[in-house]
Amino acid sequence: MSEAQTAADRPVYLVDPWCVREPELRLDRLAQSESVFALSNGHLGMRGNLDEGEPHGLPGTYLNSFYEQRPLPQAEVAYGYPESGQTVINVTNGKVIRLLVDDEPFDVRYGRVQAHERVLDMQAGTLTRHVEWTSPSDRTVKITSVRLVSLTQRAIAAICYEVEPVDHAVRVVAQSELVANEAMPNGTKDPRASAILDHPLVSEEHVANGTKVLLLHRTRQSGLRMAAGMSHEIEGPESMAIDTESSEDVGRLTVATRLEPGQKLRIVKFLAYGWSSKRSRPALHDQVVGALAGARQTGWDGLLKEQREYLDDFWCGADVEVDGDAEIQQAVRFGLFHVLQAGARAERRMIPAKGLTGPGYDGHTFWDTETFVLPVLTYTSPGAAADALAWRHMTLPLAVERANQLGLDGATFPWRTIRGHECSGYWPAGTAAFHINADIADAVIRYVDATQDEQFEREVGLEILVETARLWRSLGHHDVGGVFRIDGVTGPDEYSAIVDNNVYTNLMARRNLQAAAETAMRHPDVADRLGVNAEEAASWRDAAAAMVIPYDERLGVHPQSENFTNHARWDFAATKPDQYPLLLNFPYFDLYRKQVVKQADLVLALHLCGEAFTEEQKIRDFDYYEALTVRDSSLSAQTQAVVAAEVGQLELAHDYLGETALMDLHDLNRNTRDGLHIASMAGAWSGLVAGFGGMRADGGRLRFAPRLPGGISRLAFRMRYRGNRLKVSVTADTATYELLEGPGLKLWHHNEEVTLADEPAELPIEPIQQRPAPAQPAGREPAPRRIDPHGRVPRRG
């Protein structure tokens, strides 16, 4: 591995506008690359593990919402704590194709790797690998594999695997496998949890038949059933011996042959997966076998073609072009690709914080999805956004039950979950973070505004708005002075907790209450079915109108929550660089009582509730919180990018954009191994479109306020809005709006109304006055995206 060590300074991935290319195998970044090269359609996810299974960082194959229960122990139990959690498990691995060359197992840790390249192609939707390997006994083979997880056939993945000798004839044996209950590296520390999660699947059936093998398992505690099947098409010399076998946890097809130079063994492996909490073993068996038959009917080339067509359609309404910063160009497409992969075919399942790229956060979904991911999908792949919200709607009965348990009206959505049950084990940063309910409501409002999807509004949206409005009405109260207060909650910033009148929460709750009242009025029949009467709707409007928004007159800024600006400031000067993230080195009590901000909170309100602030307030508030925000959360930089751009701090915005966009490609937080930060990936889009494009769509008006930083010479983005597909192109002094498809629309350019129809509209951008940049806490400045004299951005991370 000395080669890997000397390579440590070279970039892991090459910068290319449409691909992520790993030019050599970096064993020191194996787990990171498994996340970066993960393929998924939102239903089935496969980490970018090597075909031969080993070495690996973390083996991973996931089925959305297929989980096991685990205990949530507490030193001191209290009312309302969830007793068990849900955790994503590594399901049957169908990626494995092992190879023996003259009896030597192909393993990159032995022999010599002459060449090794992997390419994630974001237009083709494939991961391609080229290897040239010389075995310890000096036989050289070329191996090519192409892998896809189908965006068109939800149950299906496929691998095309080819091996050929380079100079000498070789005997090759290929073993294509299904492996359940893989041994996992470094398990959890909790012995009870690891006992459950180390061997989560119980075999119910295994069959081998021709080139087909199927394994069927169920989980011990959660009682879910899954099946994985494989089927093969094999081309090679005539004298091939093919055999299949199955046992409880292993299915195997073995091909043995002799290859002369010029000859090739080609295996196309079709994989199908299915799971259910309800369907019988035979039904699930048949479902998977049927899916395999469908995939074979389509064939490898057919799957490739469908995949590209699906992606072409996506990119034509979603692509973002960035001139002047090639890293960001690559990163925004990488981000969009993974956001799409996370949501494309989730279809009424949740979108986890890590997508299906790794086991991080137990595979849970959080507010990340509604607040950071759905805005991207709403304007690029709106059907996926609708599906994600329909999943929330499906879980409403659980959320109503939880609210009832907590003594509240309406619904309380879980802070973290897989299937809708609260799985948070620390209530001050879980249950108390009620803002998630307004975040979900806001995603509904945004989706309906962007699509005018009235059926959705009636069948899904209104009920969510009503139940969350009921929550806010019961969570808050009018004090004797008549204002409506929301006390004892936790806002987005997890370095404060259980606070009174968090500005973000109160503003979002206000919007939630108003929207529920307005939407109920638009659909009186549905409202009536939901038990909403005029008095209730009026009480929502009243609460919204009386909502208290604290303001510190003395400092001329909004306190993040009541009293916040009276608290001691964190002693940033005394905090050492290796003490970040702070939560690993300081107790919650100390973080909570001081002015230190983990992630944009008041600044997120500046972005999402901009109408509640004057321009002057935005500038003052942004500057104030810049000095306090340490970005110990990956959710922060994108919001700071958007608001920095809005208040004219364009270079700072560019720096923050870099941080969110390169979070995983540069492994900035050193935890990409556990899965990609899907919200950060979405943030690349937000930083460009909402940041430098100035896109806002609140209040029913689609507005842009484009303005570029010095390092970006041109920005162009496509989006979908109310049946239109449009393209916005921005340079330093001009913005061009172009209708690509659809009936046309009105939009606003820097407060100027524009009616967009057949002709593109080109409008000037006025320069702004430079203000001094605000300071961040010492050592927490974002890495600058300075441009070197040759126009290249220096690599980081």
Catalytic residue ranges: 494
- Which of the residues 632 through 691 are near its own copies (CB under 8 A)? none
The verdict on 401 binding its own copies (CB under 8 A) reads no
Give the residue from 361, 382, 380, 487 showing the smallest Cα distance to 434.
487
What distance in Å separates the CA atoms of residue 213 and residue 247, rounded to the nearest whole number? 10
Identify the residue among 58, 228, 432, 715 touching its own copies (CB under 8 A): 432
Q: How far is the CB of 593 from its own copies (least distance, A)?
A: 2
Closer residue to its own copies in complex, CB, 478/795: 478
Closer residue to its own copies in complex, CB, 270/592: 592
Contact region with its own copies (CB under 8 A), list: 585-593, 604-612, 670-678, 739-747 = 585-593
Intra-chain end-to-end CA distance of the chain, in Å = 21
Contact region with its own copies (CB under 8 A), list: 577-585, 679-687, 732-740, 777-785 = 577-585
Q: Is 160 helix (H, G, I), strand (E, B) or coil?
A: strand
Closer residue to its own copies in complex, CB, 136/407: 407
Closer residue to its own copies in complex, CB, 1/480: 480
Contact region with its own copies (CB under 8 A), list: 148-156, 420-428, 704-712, 754-762 = 420-428
Contact region with its own copies (CB under 8 A), list: 14-22, 139-147, 422-430, 623-631 = 422-430
The verdict on 568 binding its own copies (CB under 8 A) reads yes
Neighbours of 128 (CB within 10 A): 18
Q: How far is the CB of 422 from its own copies (least distance, A)?
A: 11
Q: Using CB under 8 A, count the residues that bind its own copies.
A: 51
The verdict on 562 binding its own copies (CB under 8 A) reads yes
Contact region with its own copies (CB under 8 A), list: 213-221, 279-287, 482-490, 515-523 = 482-490
Neighbours of 534 (CB within 10 A): 12
167-193 core/surface letters (b: 16 or more CB in 10 A; e: else)? eeebebbbbbbbbbbbebeeebeeeeb
What distance in Å separates the CA atoms of residue 448 and residue 464, rounded to the nearest whole number? 12
Closer residue to its own copies in complex, CB, 183/574: 574
Q: How far is the CB of 488 from its own copies (least distance, A)?
A: 2
Q: How far is the CB of 34 from its own copies (least distance, A)?
A: 26
569 CB-near residues (< 8 Å, 6+ apart): 594, 595, 596, 628
91 CB-near residues (< 8 Å, 6+ apart): 61, 62, 63, 66, 180, 201, 226, 228, 273, 275
Contact region with its own copies (CB under 8 A), list: 37-45, 285-293, 587-595, 605-613 = 587-595
Closer residue to its own copies in complex, CB, 520/591: 591
Q: Is 42 helix (H, G, I), strand (E, B) or coil?
A: coil
Q: How far is the CB of 86 from its own copies (least distance, A)?
A: 12
Identify the residue among 6, 482, 553, 589 touching its own copies (CB under 8 A): 589
What distance in Å separates the CA atoms of residue 610 and residue 632, rounded to the nearest whole number? 24
- In the numeric block, which tokens belong to residue 183? 């041994």
The verdict on 424 binding its own copies (CB under 8 A) reads yes
- Which of the residues 70 through 109 are near its own copies (CB under 8 A)? 72-76, 78-81, 85
- Which of the residues 592 through 611 are near its own copies (CB under 8 A)? 592-594
Q: What is Dmax (Cα atoms) for the chain? A: 90
Contact 697, 686 (CB under 8 A): no
Closer residue to its own copies in complex, CB, 406/530: 406
Residue 573, CB half-sphere, CA atoms under 13 Å: how many? 1
The verdict on 411 binding its own copies (CB under 8 A) reads no
Closer residue to its own copies in complex, CB, 551/586: 586
By rule CB under 8 A, what string of x and - marks binding of each residue 269-308 to its own copies? ----------------------------------------
What distance in Å separates the CA atoms of residue 429 and residue 590, rounded to the nearest whole number? 15
Neighbours of 550 (CB within 10 A): 18
Give the residue from 139, 147, 144, 130 showing the smallest Cα distance to 172.
139
The verdict on 407 binding its own copies (CB under 8 A) reads yes
What distance in Å separates the CA atoms of residue 359 and residue 372, rounded to the nearest whole number? 20
The verdict on 398 binding its own copies (CB under 8 A) reads no
Sheet of strand 19-22: strand arrangement:
14-15, 19-22, 112-121, 126-134, 140-149, 156-165, 265-276, 225-235, 212-219, 201-209
What distance in Å separates the CA atoms of residue 385 and residue 392, rounded to the nearest whole number? 11
The verdict on 124 binding its own copies (CB under 8 A) reads no
Q: How far is the CB of 67 from its own copies (least distance, A)?
A: 16
Identify the residue among 585, 778, 779, 792 touching its own copies (CB under 8 A): 585
Identify residue 740 by its one-letter amino acid code: L
Spacing of C-alpha 781 from chain mean position: 25
Q: How far is the CB of 704 from its own copies (least distance, A)?
A: 40
Identify the residue among 44, 464, 489, 516 touching its own copies (CB under 8 A): 489
Neighbours of 460 (CB within 10 A): 22
Identify whether 777 is preceded by a cis peptide bond (ω within 30 of 0): no
Q: How far is the CB of 597 from its own copies (least distance, A)?
A: 15
Contact region with its own copies (CB under 8 A), list: 226-234, 539-547, 589-597, 725-733 = 589-597
Q: How far is the CB of 552 from its own copies (least distance, A)?
A: 10
DSSP 17: S
The verdict on 425 binding its own copies (CB under 8 A) reads yes
The verdict on 586 binding its own copies (CB under 8 A) reads yes
Closer residue to its own copies in complex, CB, 74/770: 74
Contact region with its own copies (CB under 8 A), list: 38-46, 102-110, 486-494, 755-763 = 486-494
Contact 609, 508 (CB under 8 A): yes
- Which of the residues 190 through 219 are near its own copies (CB under 8 A)? 190
Identify the residue among 35, 61, 431, 680 touching its own copies (CB under 8 A): 431
CA distances from 537 to 404, 412, 515, 516 (A): 21, 19, 10, 8
Identify the residue among 27, 293, 530, 583 touching its own copies (CB under 8 A): 583
The verdict on 173 binding its own copies (CB under 8 A) reads no
What distance in Å separates the CA atoms of residue 364 and residue 726, rounded to the nearest whole number? 34
Rg (CA), the chain: 27
Q: How far is the CB of 469 from its own copies (least distance, A)?
A: 18
Footprint of its own copies on this chain (CB under 8 A)? 72-76, 78-81, 85, 190, 405-408, 424-428, 431-432, 477, 479-481, 485, 487-489, 497-498, 500, 554-555, 562-563, 566-568, 583-590, 592-594
